Amino acid sequence: MSGVYARRIGVVVASVALAATSGLLTAPTAQAAMPTPVAASTARTYLSQLTVKAEGSSSGYSRDLFPHWITQSGACDTREVVLKRDGTNVTQNSSCTAVSGSWYSEYDGATWSAASDLDIDHMVPLAEAWRSGASSWTTAQRQSFANDLTRPQLIAVTDNVNQSKGDQDPSTWLPSRTAYRCTYARAWVHVKHYYNLTVDSAEKSALQSVLNGC
């Protein structure tokens, strides 16, 4: 997986370098979004395939067991890669820190001009993953999960909104911006299905309700 990341970032770096050396070229437009989750119909199928099981214990859980943010390329760690990806006109310094740009938070509809106002949310929270099967993973597997740029698992959002979400699942927390709830549910199921994590009954019911309205 790290090789994929390196190739992807290498292409971006090469494109930017080429654009910088030619007045005829412009830098590629920022994606300004996390990877697109599966369609609602696929998410409903995936949800039906997930194992329904009461949540496990949080005993032994620590964020340190999910190493993040790891270096992705050069001085850029996962957080900075996501800030660059999810923002508009993002400028980074030599340390890869975002020093300017604009970010739209899909969860609450707020727009920010300072990277410090953004958190990188784990769509499926680390503690939720721990209680849903990740407690039996290796540290390497947990690191891949915590830094996954390929699935719709990481997104830049308003920091206090991310903090209010905490480690809750969709049965107790959904984005206040209702227009995003379908995407949120699709992404949640996409990630849980890919990583073969379980769902509890209340979580499944909440996801079914959202997806049935998509």
Predicted pLDDT at 26: 29
In three-state secondary structure terms, 52 is strand
Predicted pLDDT at 30: 40
The secondary structure of residue 55, as a DSSP letter, is -
Record the pTM. 0.85
Looking at residue 46, its amino acid is Y
Predicted pLDDT at 148: 98
CA Rg value for the chain:
18
Predicted pLDDT at 12: 36
pLDDT < 70: residue spans in the chain: 1-32
Q: Please name which of 185, 182, 120, 195 lies closest in space to residue 151, comparing C-alpha atoms.
A: 195
Predicted pLDDT at 128: 98
Looking at residue 199, its amino acid is V
Predicted pLDDT at 1: 46
Q: Please name which of 17, 28, 39, 18 lies closest in space to residue 152, comparing C-alpha atoms.
A: 39
Structure tokens at 41: 């119909």
Predicted pLDDT at 163: 97
